[in-house]
Amino acid sequence: MAKSVAEVAPPATMAAMVLTGHGGIEKLEYHQDVATPKPQAGQVLVQVTATAKNNCGGGRGH
């Protein structure tokens, strides 16, 4: 029988796009060794499989 979602432990690390400072896309860095967050009481951990970056806005007159 398959394990329920509550029984599956998340990995110790995850891949993440890390914002390293103010600026444009050059301030985003891909890391594969970011510690997986540990939810506290009343919180949940959600696995995100895809995202998008909107390059409009940000006060640059677009």
What are 6-60's pLDDT values in tens digits?
678 899 999 999 999 998 889 999 999 999 999 999 999 999 998 887 766 555 5
25: its two tokens? 């896309």
Q: Is the dihedral of CA 9, 14, 16, 18 positive or negative?
A: positive
DSSP H helix total and E strand total for the chain: 0, 2
pLDDT of residue 54: 73
pLDDT of residue 8: 81
Structural domain spans, the chain: 6-35
* Main-chain dihedrals φ then ψ at residue 5, nearest 5 degrees: -55, -35
